[in-house]
Structure formats: C-alpha cells, structure tokens
Amino acid sequence: MKAWKQVLISVVLVAAVFLGWAKFYPGAGTVLARYGIDWFSAPAPEGGAQQAAGQPRRSGFSREALVVTAPTGIGTVNDRLTAIGTGHAVRTVSIRPLVAGQIAEIPVVSGARVAAGDVIIKLDSAEEELAVERARLALDDAERKSERLGSLLAQRAVSSVEADQARSDLSTARVALREAELALARRTVTAPIAGSLGILAVNAGDYVTTQTDIATIDDRSQILVEFYVPERFAARMAAGTMISATAIARPGEQFEGEITAVDNRVDEASRTLRVQARIANDRDLLRAGMSFEVTMRFKGETWPTVDPLAIQWDSKGPYVWRIIDGKAERLDVAIIQRNADRVLVKADIAEGDTVVTEGVQSVRNGGAVRIAGEPPAPADGAKPAAADGDQPAGSGGTGRGGAGS
C-alpha cells in the first residue's frame, strides 16, 4: 500500500477515535471546554420530544465544572509571642572573705537556708583578739589620764596644753580600739542577704584569700527570667506587661509574672531585644538556671483565611477561585502565614465567601461551576413537564372524535 494511503487511513482512525471520545466520554466536554472547543453541542430540535416533556436541552457535554468548595474565615496573626528564657535568682551573692587566713570553723552546711548576718565561716583570729585587748587597755589608760588632767586643769595645776594632749590621746585610743575590733570582725564571714546557700567550696583548715569563692547565696523568693524577643515586637515591650511562663522542668504548671526591665537597644547581630520579667516563687519550686517558655499575648492582626487546598500557583503567584453567583472568579492573594489547617492571606475576601478546594483543573475565569452535592440549575428557557393527559396546544390528536363529524 502506498504511503499516502497509510497516512490517510491513520488520520481517519485518529479523527474517529477523537470524535468518539469527545462524544461519549463523560469528562471529555469539560476538558475541551477549558480550551474553548465547543464543536459538539447538539441542541435538541425545537418542539421535539424533550421540549414537550419540559426537559432541558442537552449538549454533547456539560459546560459546568463540578467542584468542591469551602467557606473563608478570619484568622489572627502576631497575637502571641513565645520565647525561651533563662531563670535567675532575684538576688545572687558570691561570698568571699575580706581578709586572708585559715578557716577555723564552718557553722553552716551546703544547701542551708540562711538569714542576713548568719555566720558562714570563721577564720583563725587569735592575733586580732589580742590586738583588741591591747587597744582596750590603751583606751582605759587614756581615759583615766584625760580625767586626771581635766581635774588638775580646773585647779590650774597643769597647763591647758597638757589637758588638750590628753584628750587627743584619748581619741586616738578610741580609734585604735575600733580598728582592732574591725580587724577581728573581718575574721568572721557572714551572709549579706537571706536566701539559699549553695555548695560550700572550702573546708575547715583551708587557707583562703580575698579571691577565694566560699559559696553563693540565692534569694529565690522571686525568679528573674531573661529572654530575647524579635525586633518587630520591640515597640510592644514595656515594664508592667503581664507574661506567662512554663518551666521545662515542671511541665503542666504555669507561672504568672510581669516585665520589669527592657533593654535600651536592639542587638545588632541577632536583631533581638533583651527583656527581663519577674515571677513569684512562693512555694520555692523554681531554681536559678532553669529554662522557661515565656508567652505573651497581644491584640494581633486579623486576615482572611482559606483552606490550604484552595491556594493555586502560576507564573503570577498564588491565587484562589472564588464562586460568585455560580461563576468562578480568579482572585490573586498574598500569603501572610501558612498553618496546618488554614492559610492567612491578604486579599479582597470577606468572611463566608466560597472558594474552590477541589476540581480546580476544570475551572475557568468567569466559567459556570456546580458545587458537588447541590442539584444542577435548570437550563435557560426550560419549561416544567406537562401534566398527564394534557395535550400541547396545536397538536393533532387522534382520540375519539378525531375525524370530522
């Protein structure tokens, strides 16, 4: 067989298959309608049986796209801030002795609760005690001498210069006693604040200097939580703002507090702002160094929300199909925030609008759509079906008396 005959036969077969698919395949009409092909419309003859029965005209395929829809809603964004912070005692003191010496006694134990003024350690103070005794004896001698010269001055038995010198020596003796007592007092290290004593780093008999850390005392009556917030929240941070904190070590328990301090500048490297908040610790459940999840709530911003399946993409960006009066309308959107069940968008969408979530491949801009589960709309010009026994006007009946009498 010649080549041109083979080509001709192939073209005829392909055309026949295409016509059969377009005519009889249920979804073929929808696919062709997307490309503007409407060659197979076959309107019923006027006055035919379908018109007489009141049924709508039927084409070779339905031009309405069958879709599944979902209503839009309203969502809020930037209404809550969550940050991870570190807890600190409201006051922490590292204890060091003011003088060097050998530890003679440690009257407290690690982890004990101490009050302000409680003795933490005592250094060997034999020399200082002797110095105090010498200073006290010198003071007593100066007092007696001052009194004696004062009496003699009243009797004009001594000069006023000698009496003044005696009074000066008395003042010097008093200062010397105070100096000796101060040196003795510094041999005893006391707690400067009330709180919980940490683990002691020394033992009795150790020689310590002014650089030796004895222990730390934490005042845990309140916990100071320090955290960092993104730069965009800087304007919302103010002293007195309430916060909620959850300790990672105590899940399920929530602690309330308030912001007490906000840094005066944003960190240039991380673009975050340092914030401090205090939370009460009346039951002493929290410790310094714990990590906290801090939560703050704000008024936030409201945006329309759509189902994630409604978001479509093309070269122009994201868009959705909105249904208005049975017609599809393309609406460009800008995504604000994507969540698991809803997407917040910036678009001209009102709460309760209907958008297409399934069947988008058959939707055209301005094209008619039919929502799944709803009955199809009647075709234009369709008439209700005639009642049983009624005859259309002008019909030629053959019933009784049909022949002329």
Measured CA angle at 25 (ends 21, 31), to 5 deg: 85
Q: Domain check: are 98 and 198 in the same one?
A: yes
| 369 touches 328 (CB < 8 A) | yes
Query: pLDDT per residue over 270-306, tens digit each?
Result: 999 999 999 999 998 999 999 999 999 888 788 999 9
Going by C-beta distance under 8 Å and a sequence separation of 6 or more, which residues neighbour residue 300?
76, 77, 78, 79, 80
Residue 73 lies in a domain: yes
Domain range enclosing 272: 82-89+219-300
Tokens of 180: 């000796």
pLDDT at 400: 36
Higher pLDDT, 147 or 43: 147
Query: Which phi-psi region, left, alpha or beta, contains residue 342 (left: φ > 0; alpha: ψ -120 to 50)?
Result: beta
Q: Domain check: are 129 and 165 in the same one?
A: yes
Residue 61 to residues 30, 360, 381: CA-CA distances in angstroms?
7, 18, 18
Say what percent of the chain tops pLDDT 70.
Answer: 82
Q: Domain check: are 315 and 325 in the same one?
A: yes
Q: Domain check: are 201 and 100 in the same one?
A: yes
Going by C-beta distance under 8 Å and a sequence separation of 6 or more, which residues neighbour residue 20?
none
CATH of the domain at 251: 2.40.30.170
Q: Is the pTM of this model over 0.75?
A: no
Q: Domain check: are 10 and 106 in the same one?
A: no
CA-wise closest residue to 32 among 43, 46, 21, 47: 21
CA distance 78 to 337: 10
Higher pLDDT, 48 or 69: 69
Query: pLDDT per residue over 201-237, tens digit each?
Result: 999 999 999 999 999 999 999 999 999 999 988 988 9
Residue 49 lies in a domain: yes
CATH of the domain at 173: 1.10.287.470
Residue 155 lies in a domain: yes
The beta strands (E) that lie in 44-174 are given as: 65-71, 73-77, 80-95, 101-105, 113-114, 119-123
Q: Domain check: are 279 and 306 in the same one?
A: no
Q: Evaluate if residue 48 carries a pLDDT over 60.
A: no
The Cβ of residue 381 has, within 10 Å, a number of other Cβ atoms equal to 8
Please tell me the total count of domains within the chain.
4
> Would you give the distance in Å from CA 249 to the centre of its chain?
19
